[in-house]
Structure 1
């Protein structure tokens, strides 16, 4: 009998996570973390992450997310003398211009959708902060122009046209480490909380499965003849949003920006290789490509993959090749070199994977959508893996240990 993910009770995805197993910092050597390996027959083994290249199937293709975490947390003090109430502005996604690259390159002003801390103390008007960027003094001002629920649109302006918004947040902002670490941002996080292959600015959280990779591990993957490919999903703050409803069907997924090279879509449509995704962000992006192709095929594509589309009875259930070919034709019709879209899909038990045949991922929070995604991949046997890891003292969450999950 098919599983209806709407009716799943989130309480069934709970487990006890001792605080001492939450890794507050990464290991000094990224690739020396522990690696749980689970194959399709349910066999579980323990390895070190630096062994990963030799554990990947010889016919694998490794796909990872090249997003880069921005210094999204900006702090201001009210008042001209800078000793008033502390206002924290957490940048989520660009509003105007809405394109990430254009917004970061802005030299006069831009607006972002933000969370505002101590919001009641910021009634109206601009708040300002003086910065020194490359020896130049810059005055940054922020004005709240609109509110929508617990988020606000904030307009940023500065008085030096030689300075970009990217430089502004690099100078003034802080890396937004996950709230469950229960500590402040430290200087080391600027390096530790970035993958070695991060290059496209836009995330407010790291694709943490990629934090274990080192140049040495990547070189070893290359020596095995396993191709490496990149895509982009900018991770939003919603990745930390717990499922607060009793059932999964009542939970609303956040939207995230994806960008995939046209040539990768073409390769995925034709490849016989097993696609191994690094991290849940890469998983969501790759699976979203399939469903975007189905929406194109149906003539229903509107720029975003809806949360529940994969489970609709009217879904055409195309083969992977057919769906990706439809998406490729769409991209070629726009003369674009990349497919840019948004996705809200929720991957939970009852989901059928269409593109991904393996994944590298960390150990996730109880009752989280990320744990639902893992459960869907291992046919509901997530608890055996987590019991194995807990009993052996694996380190959990963003700076913790990793797992390699394979269908065969």
Structure 2
């Protein structure tokens, strides 16, 4: 299985740099086996049945991009160097793994000042990454970070524009709760309160799980034989309540539909460790899903459109089949769907889906 098998041509102007307003007005490509339909996200109620269960990732993105200065006293006086820091993940000892630009201009033991309330000392650097010890922790750290930090937009957006205050709202789900992600579960960004109400009226159930999405989600695959690729590990948790809800839905004949690849990877990790059955789970997962993977829990998937040659595209191909995914992405490009984190969405059923063609107005009046 070659990396080139997962390549496709994507016009640059289809890469979204802002989400549509309202969130649920984004386009939705629905693939039911080999059948493709064009819709909008609000139309989810047409394809989901009473008793289906959406699995939602409730991780909360931190404003992980920081800009500060390193000061150094020397023979010629005091000098400074501007530093850009992207936090990656907290460590057990209270420090943070981070990327620093330019890393070569700071030594171990030196401090970066971000504001009067927030600074950090470089305690170690290796393999192009740094370890930072901040001057505060807990609520004080969260408050200081919220004051000066910017949302860590994906590289393909950050290359076109800087993050701004609007991204603090746009790059966060409406149900975000557990702080720890440095990238958003982007399929979930399409949901707003109005859509959630419609789904509840439809009888669609929802379960929250947590997977803290790491910056590694944007790392390219560098091996030609994709089966030898090593995934980054991300921390996740499925509570006993969440596992029970998912198991009950499966037992009753309902469908489990994760919203986003992060939720899918987490529930499939728990099922794999549980011998094929969903169970409470906590820890780090580095599960790599590519064609040939046997899904234990997932019946369908809602997800955005992913980068060429990415592990996320491989995951979608594992669920739908490589040839189907090529047709889906050809259709998306030809019909000018918007791609990546702020782009449009897809709803993917591996098999033919017999759905009721109820309109949104029908449902809102029931």
TM-score (norm 2): 0.89
Q: Which has the higher contact order (CA 8 A, sep 6+)?
A: 2
Please say if residues 53 and 246 of structure 2, whose CA atoms lie closer than 8 Å, have aligned partners that are also in contact.
no
Query: C-alpha distance in 1, partners of 2:138/2:176?
Result: 25
Query: C-alpha distance in 2, partners of 1:267/1:50?
Result: 24
Please say if residues 49 and 203 of structure 2, whose CA atoms lie closer than 8 Å, have aligned partners that are also in contact.
no
Query: C-alpha distance in 1, partners of 2:79/2:18?
Result: 32
Query: C-alpha distance in 1, partners of 2:89/2:325?
Result: 32
1:157: Cα distance to partner?
1.2
Specify the alignment match of 1:46 in structure 2.
Answer: 38
Specify the alignment match of 2:149 in structure 1.
Answer: 173
Specify the alignment match of 1:373 in structure 2.
Answer: 315
Please say if residues 77 and 83 of structure 1, whose CA atoms lie closer than 8 Å, have aligned partners that are also in contact.
no
Specify the alignment match of 2:358 in structure 1.
Answer: none
Cα distance change of structure 1 residues 83 and 63 upon mapping to structure 2, 3 Å threshold: farther
TM-score (norm 1): 0.80
Specify the alignment match of 2:207 in structure 1.
Answer: 229
1:399: Cα distance to partner?
0.6
Q: Aligned ranges for residues 7-406 of structure 1 at < 5 Å? A: 8-40=1-33, 42-79=34-71, 84-97=80-93, 110-129=94-113, 131=115, 138=117, 140-158=118-136, 164-181=140-157, 182=159, 183-271=161-249, 272=252, 273-294=254-275, 320=276, 323-324=277-278, 327=279, 339-380=281-322, 381-406=324-349
Task: Look up the SS of the partner of 1:400 in the other structure.
Answer: coil
Q: Note the alpha carbon deviations across 1:110-166, whole angstroms, 9 max, x for none.
A: 3111111100000233324263xxxxx52x3311212331222211114xx895211
Query: C-alpha distance in 1, partners of 2:255/2:146?
Result: 38
Any runs of at least 4 consecutive aligned residues in structure 1 with deviations exceeding 6 A, and if so which? 80-83
Cα distance change of structure 1 residues 359 and 141 upon mapping to structure 2, 3 Å threshold: same
Query: C-alpha distance in 2, partners of 1:270/1:141?
Result: 48
Cα distance change of structure 1 residues 276 and 118 upon mapping to structure 2, 3 Å threshold: same
Query: C-alpha distance in 2, partners of 1:144/1:279?
Result: 35
Query: C-alpha distance in 1, partners of 2:338/2:5?
Result: 22
1:249: Cα distance to partner?
2.3
Query: C-alpha distance in 2, partners of 1:166/1:96?
Result: 17
Q: Note the alpha carbon deviations across 1:194-223, whole angstroms, 9 max, x for none.
A: 111111111111100011111010000000
Task: Look up the SS of the partner of 2:135 in the other structure.
Answer: strand
1:267: Cα distance to partner?
2.6
RMSD, matched Cα = 1.8
Query: C-alpha distance in 2, partners of 1:39/1:58?
Result: 18
Task: Look up the SS of the partner of 2:196 in the other structure.
Answer: helix
Aligned residues: 341
Q: Note the alpha carbon deviations across 1:27-79, whole angstroms, 9 max, x for none.
A: 12111111000113x10000011111222133311111011110111222122
Cα distance change of structure 1 residues 130 and 235 upon mapping to structure 2, 3 Å threshold: closer
Query: C-alpha distance in 2, partners of 1:56/1:162?
Result: 41
1:86: Cα distance to partner?
1.2
Q: Note the alpha carbon deviations across 1:262-291, whole angstroms, 9 max, x for none.
A: 111123233332101100001101111101
Unaligned runs of 5+ in 2: 352-366
